[in-house]
Amino acid sequence: MANRKPRAGALLTLEEVYRKPVGPASDPKSLYALLLRFVAWRRERNWSETTLKTQTHHDYRFILWAAERGLNYGAEITRPILERYQRHLYQYRKANGEPLSTRTQRTALQPLQVWFRWMAQQNLILANPAADLELPRLEKRLPRTILSVDEVETVLGLCDLNTPMGIRDRALLELLWSTGIRRGEVAKLEIHSPDFSRRILTIVQGKGKQDRVIPVGLRALRWLRRWLYQVRPEVLVNPECKALFLAMDGVEGLTTSGITMAVVPYLRASGIDKGSCHLFRHAMATQMLENGADLRWIQAMLGHRSVESTQIYTQVSIRALQTVHASTHPAEQDMEEETGLLADLSASDEREPPDSPKS
């Protein structure tokens, strides 16, 4: 699994960018040289490697596009050039014939805004051509799938508890549901991350290079304890590895892709066709909100910098809204006194199977 080929369109690593110079790369004023200088500048200021990888990938793609049109220097890039590139992204079609999503288009353009602003601030170009570039507007979309408690329990129940991998996966799934942490944060957990006496989990350098401490439920802790103290020692081959969740070869910890590959088969086997680790994050937040948790506490659990990111769960958690609707809408007030045709219709609905053919 670790040696599988990257999918088409996968993000380029920084090493790949370094190995593939574009245009007059030795000229310090070339776009390629300026990109490498920008990467070094951000590394000196301790930007996250994930952010660097994502933004460098999209800046590099722009350099390739510009080089095909004979544009190799920062001074040659103007606002109309960037707008041409924006149209290129809008008109681009993937291998399956689908266009790039609005979010993908924005993700490709925003790093250019950051990069050209830096060039202007460093006096490497006279003016910032991306200063007033208008990005595509994002649609406000809700999570497509929100697992119910029963659905989560079904997924958890699919782990084969007679095997070390099944116990590892059960502990992993229980932790994802209990805490809602990201898969990237799971990959960084070490054997000392859970504190069983205080019932907490310490996440070091999560998204945005932020540390945080969050509670863990007793049930998840029981499974973690079983994995950590009874099963993990049997799997471990490399004593130097401190990762909480090991790959089954016992040499290294699970990577982010390894975590996905561990979780997805259980979701698919339970009939959930789309989604991966983030489904447990959505489920935890929505279910806690429906059970009365304050939005600020859920924000702290999820590690959101802004409560606006957490507010999306108020739109998918409709139990309270359903209660208000049932108790206040006039058409619902007389449901307990159904008579005549309405009572006949209700009785008919109860007798008729949901998928029975209609005449």
Q: 213 has which bridge partners?
A: 202
Q: Which 3 state secondary structure label does DSSP give 253?
A: strand
**What is the separation of C-alpha 50 from the centre of its chain, rounded to a whole number of angstroms?**
13
> Which of these is catalytic: 106, 212, 226, 278?
278
- Please confirm, yes or no, whether 304 is among the known catalytic residues: yes
> Which of these is catalytic: 57, 168, 170, 304?
304
- Please confirm, yes or no, whether 278 is among the known catalytic residues: yes
- Please confirm, yes or no, whether 60 is among the known catalytic residues: no
- Please confirm, yes or no, whether 192 is among the known catalytic residues: no
Q: Which two tokens stand for residue 234?
A: 């049997």
> Which of these is catalytic: 32, 85, 266, 313?
313
Residue type, 159: C
Task: Provide DSSP, 39-104.
Answer: HHHHHHTT--HHHHHHHHHHHHHHHHHHHHTT--BGGG--HHHHHHHHHHHHH-B-TTSPBPPHHH
> Which strand (E) or helix (H) includes residue 183?
helix 183-187
Pairing of strands 212-215, 194-195: unpaired
User: If 0-12 CB within 10 Å is exposed, 13-18 middle and 19+ buried, where does residue 217 land?
Assistant: middle
> Which of these is catalytic: 42, 57, 207, 282?
207
Q: Which two tokens stand for residue 62?
A: 């722009």
Q: 63: Cβ–Cβ under 8 A, 6 or more apart, which residues?
A: 22, 23, 31, 32, 35
> Which of these is catalytic: 168, 183, 281, 282?
281
- Please confirm, yes or no, whether 90 is among the known catalytic residues: no
- Please confirm, yes or no, whether 182 is among the known catalytic residues: yes
> Which of these is catalytic: 57, 168, 182, 183?
182
Question: Would you please indicate which residues are annotated as catalytic (active-site) residues?
Answer: 182, 207, 278, 281, 304, 313
